[in-house]
């Protein structure tokens, strides 16, 4: 159903208020990887979700000013690496802490080449290899729709890494 834009008032909230509100939402943490060789890059995200099971499709949002965005747009691939609770160091590195950029973010972990060309993290809870199906640019971010080409995961259960209030942690579910 389509509604005319005039039926919706323009938002009056400021960016800082929205950012502070969203810090309260607990989100699963994934590292999004892309690129080949020395152009390898990646970022830490809490905005990776399955969009569809039929066909298998992922949705990831990426800031358009991110150094990873042009590589994803050019290479037309990305890999969603869902992190274990004990992989906060990888999430921190891919978030750019300590100044690590590009291929240097891959140091200190084992990676496997996926069919798309992106790298999957050995030991991640799950690795979802995607080819870019569509990129929708809106405001500061791009919405990446990825056709899932392969899914690999560690056998057994594991606790995922989560992010809330500016900190990484884990949940003990009942």
The mean pLDDT of 148-165, rounded to a whole number, is 86
pTM of the model: 0.89
Where do the structural domains in the chain lie, given as residue ranges?
A: 16-164
Segments of the chain assigned E as strands: 27-28, 30-34, 41-45, 48-53, 56-63, 77-82, 111-113, 119-121, 126-138, 141-153, 162-164, 167-169
Per-residue pLDDT at 17: 87
Confidence at 59, pLDDT banded by 50, 70, 90: very high
Please say if the pLDDT value at position 156 is more than 80: no
Please say if the pLDDT value at position 154 is more than 70: no
* % of the chain residues with pLDDT over 70: 91
* % of the chain residues with pLDDT over 90: 76
Instruction: Give 99's contacts (C-beta < 8 A, 6+ positions apart).
Output: none
Per-residue pLDDT at 10: 61
* CATH superfamily placement of domain 16-164: Electron Transport, Fmn-binding Protein; Chain A (2.30.110.10)
Q: What is the pLDDT of residues 7-37, one digit of tens each?
A: 555 667 788 888 888 888 889 999 999 999 9
Confidence at 107, pLDDT banded by 50, 70, 90: very high
Please say if the pLDDT value at position 2 is more than 70: no
Beta-bridge mates of residue 31: 44, 81
Residue of higher predicted confidence among 48 and 156: 48
Per-residue pLDDT at 16: 87
Confidence at 86, pLDDT banded by 50, 70, 90: very high
Per-residue pLDDT at 49: 96
- Report the chain's C-alpha Rg in angstroms: 17
Average pLDDT, the chain: 91
Per-residue pLDDT at 5: 58
Two structure tokens written together for 106: 């891959």
The mean pLDDT of 72-101, rounded to a whole number, is 95
């Amino acid at each position: 159903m389509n509604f005319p834009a005039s039926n919706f008032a323009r938002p009056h909230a400021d960016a800082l208020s929205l950012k502070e509100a969203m810090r309260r939402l607990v989100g699963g943490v994934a590292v999004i990887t892309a690129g080949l060789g020395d152009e390898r890059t990646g970022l830490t995200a809490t905005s990776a979700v399955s969009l569809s099971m039929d066909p298998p499709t992922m949705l990831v949002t990426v800031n358009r000013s991110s150094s990873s965005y042009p590589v994803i747009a050019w290479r037309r691939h990305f890999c969603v690496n869902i992190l274990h609770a004990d992989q906060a160091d990888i999430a921190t590195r891919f978030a750019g802490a300590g100044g690590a950029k590009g291929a240097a973010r891959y140091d200190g972990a084992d990676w496997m080449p996926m069919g798309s060309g992106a790298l999957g993290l050995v030991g991640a809870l799950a690795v979802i290899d995607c080819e870019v199906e569509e990129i929708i640019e809106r405001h500061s971010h791009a919405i990446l729709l990825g056709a899932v080409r392969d899914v690999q995961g560690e056998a057994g259960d594991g606790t995922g890494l989560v992010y809330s209030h500016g900190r990484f942690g884990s949940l003990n579910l009942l």
